[in-house]
Amino acid sequence: MKRLQSNFWSRIFFVAGIILLFTACDARPKGVLNQSDMINILADLHKLDGSMTAKGLPYDQFDKKNEYYVSVLCKYGITQAKFDSSLVWYSNNPKKFDKIYDKVIDQLTNLQNDINKGKYHPVDSVELAKVKYNIWTKRTKYILTNDSARTHLDFEIPDQNFMLGDVYTLKFLQRIAPEDSSKNQLISFQINYVNGRVRGVIKKSYNDGVTRRFTLRISSIHPAKIKSISGELLGSSAYKGKLNATIDSISVIRVYNALKQDSLLKVLQAADPEHYPVIALPANDDLLQPKQKNIRVLILKK
């Protein structure tokens, strides 16, 4: 009987010892977050901070970032005071804090590996089929002064097997000085169809001496043959003799689906070879210059 009692108490002390051991390993005061919660919260805060930095919010602007940080704490149902006190406690226990940050780094590293493998942004076969190339082959910079022969910069890019579904993007830098006398300055970009239809966009520009980057994008959505792409890099309603403008870094990028358009083009070439001649186009997505030497890409009108 005494032996049975001895074994009973031995087991009790053994279990109590195990409980005390684990309690000692996680000897944190009441109100301090456990390690699992700290790992998840810190990982989310690091991801949030990286996102805000990528969006252009400077690292030291805590007043603007604070509401976003608070939203992470709300996600876990804790107050900022509780998180702050937990952070202070773990900071005073560096061995525990080091273990937490090892787990945080592991979590962020696994996330980065998943991103690199395309887990969150799967490869789109349609995007892979898209081809981009620069159809602008003339000068990429113009400086217009009082001595310039031109008062406008108009351009026209003749058909290069342009087709339904194409997307065209005009980009350039523009600066018009305050002493420029042009009135109601504007920029235009348009698609011209053989049936006389026009689809385009217009933007206003300003003679305030500020260098601006303009991006105009148009897409071919009408099932009609395209005659040309045209527009004005610099236009105005009136001109009084004082001209001071700079246009720089000009490009017109065509984007089209190679697989879809190759099939459509073969049908059109078979049906109407006169209007759809065979022209070799770039086979990759680099911003290439077109190689057709017999095509006049830019027509400037005085």
Q: What is the pLDDT of residue 187?
A: 93
> Domain 128-271 belongs to what architecture?
Sandwich (2.60)
Q: What is the pLDDT of residue 47?
A: 87
Mean pLDDT of 133-146: 88
CA 16/CA 27 separation, integer angstroms:
16
Sheet holding 153-158, edge to edge: 153-158, 226-235, 186-193, 198-204
pLDDT exceeds 90 at position 276? no
Contact call for residues 289 and 134 (beta carbons, < 8 A): yes
CA distances from 52 to 60, 62, 68, 214 (A): 11, 11, 9, 25
Residue environment code for 95-132, b if the CB has 16+ CB neighbours within 10 A, otherwise e: ebbeebbebbeebeeeeeeeeeeeeeeeeeeeeeeebb
The top-scoring range by mean pLDDT among 111-115, 137-141, 233-237, 242-246 is 137-141
CA distances from 167 to 156, 177, 191, 229, 271 (A): 16, 32, 10, 11, 25
Q: What is the pLDDT of residue 130?
A: 77
pLDDT exceeds 80 at position 171? yes
pLDDT exceeds 70 at position 82? yes
CA 218/CA 221 separation, integer angstroms:
9
Residue 35 sits at φ, ψ, to 5 deg, of: -65, -40
The CATH 2.60.120 domain(s) of the chain lie at: 128-271
193 band by pLDDT with thresholds 50, 70 and 90: very high
Residue of higher predicted confidence among 1 and 61: 61
- The answer to pTM > 0.85 is no
Q: What is the pLDDT of residue 106?
A: 92
Q: What is the pLDDT of residue 282?
A: 47
CA 11/CA 17 separation, integer angstroms:
10
Q: What is the pLDDT of residue 125?
A: 55
- Lowest-pLDDT range of 50-64, 140-154, 234-248: 50-64
pLDDT exceeds 60 at position 14? no
- Encode pLDDT of 36-56 as tens digits: 999 999 999 888 888 877 776
- Encode pLDDT of 84-132 as tens digits: 899 899 989 989 989 999 999 999 999 888 877 777 766 555 555 678 8
